[in-house]
């Protein structure tokens, strides 16, 4: 059995990968990211870790498919799939404060990384896993993707693409049990975590509880381990509480 983590180069993805390797020494880990050479050395040097080049766009998806299929054929199935890739800002995108800043290219890029990449990865994996197991599908989402909880506005691209990710999770939670029951497909808010993604906001974050990536990995791993069929279709916070969609 293997675990698949997309975005394994990120702060949360790599810490979670490390946590899995410690807790499940008998399992292998398939890590997907744009630049496998930038993944922390401890992961690159672990013989249980198989890194595949992947990106959330369609080209990156195709690049990864063959390598993934070979690993799936050689293994006994996938216990957990974790989608830990995400985009809040990059060279051309910074969270919008107001409508004037809305930009179609930025919106499209955010949707690609935060939602489309997840859906396409589940599709690829499901295609390659016929007759094998898939127990838990976890999309690392964000509380700011909650429609009900949105009191502040702004951050259009991030909020909208995470809300779309949540709907993708909800849809999959209806369809996946037809193939893989028992299975749990959930959206998981990791809590504010020190990372490249949150770094530009470190001053305003000073008022909030900010977790180190290893703490977040412990929190998320605890929630993921506790998931059963009964949790399928939930939007869950890092401390196990339900979040409003």
Ligand X SMILES: NC(=O)c1ccc[n+]([C@@H]2O[C@H](COP(=O)([O-])OP(=O)(O)OC[C@H]3O[C@@H](n4cnc5c(N)ncnc54)[C@H](OP(=O)(O)O)[C@@H]3O)[C@@H](O)[C@H]2O)c1
Residues forming the site for ligand X (CB under 6 A): 7, 9-13, 33-35, 55-56, 84-87, 113, 140, 142, 190, 192-193, 195-198
Choice between 73 and 203, CB closer to ligand X: 203
Closest of 68, 55, 32 to residue 109, by C-alpha: 55
CB of 243 to ligand X, least distance (A): 11
Angle between helices 58-74 and 117-128 (to 10 degrees): 30
Distance CA 147, CA 174 (A): 20
> Contact at 8 Å (CB) between 124 and 54?
no
- Which CB atom, from 180 or from 236, has the smaller least distance to ligand X? 236
Q: How far is the CB of 181 from ligand X (least distance, A)?
A: 27
Nearer to ligand X, 180 or 187 (CB): 187
For CA atoms 226, 217, 64, 165, give the dihedral sign: positive
Nearer to ligand X, 34 or 48 (CB): 34
CB 235 to ligand X: min, Å = 12
Q: State the minimum distance, in angstroms, from the CB of residue 112 to ligand X.
A: 7
């Amino acid at each position: 059995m293997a675990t698949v983590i997309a975005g394994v180069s990120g702060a949360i993805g790599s810490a979670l990968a490390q946590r899995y390797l410690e807790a499940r020494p008998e399992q292998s880990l398939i890590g997907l990211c744009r630049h496998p050479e930038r993944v922390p050395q401890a992961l690159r040097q672990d013989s249980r870790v198989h890194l595949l080049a992947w990106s959330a766009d369609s080209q990156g998806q195709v690049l990864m498919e063959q390598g993934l299929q070979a690993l799936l054929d050689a293994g006994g199935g996938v216990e957990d799939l974790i989608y830990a890739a995400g985009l809040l800002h990059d060279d051309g995108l910074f969270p919008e404060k107001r409508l004037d800043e809305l930009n179609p290219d930025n919106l499209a890029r955010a949707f690609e990384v935060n939602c489309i990449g997840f859906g396409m990865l589940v599709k690829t994996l499901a295609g390659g896993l016929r007759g094998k197991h898939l127990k838990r599908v976890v999309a690392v989402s964000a509380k700011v993707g909650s429609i009900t909880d949105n009191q502040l506005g702004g951050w259009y691209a991030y909020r909208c693409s995470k809300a779309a990710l949540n709907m993708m999770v909800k849809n999959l939670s209806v369809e996946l049990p037809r193939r893989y029951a028992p299975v749990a497909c959930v959206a998981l808010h990791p809590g504010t975590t020190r990372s490249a993604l949150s770094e530009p906001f470190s001053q305003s974050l000073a008022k909030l509880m900010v977790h180190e990536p290893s703490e977040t990995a412990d929190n998320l791993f605890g929630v993921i381990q506790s998931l059963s069929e009964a949790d399928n279709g939930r939007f869950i916070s890092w401390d196990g509480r339900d979040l409003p969609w």
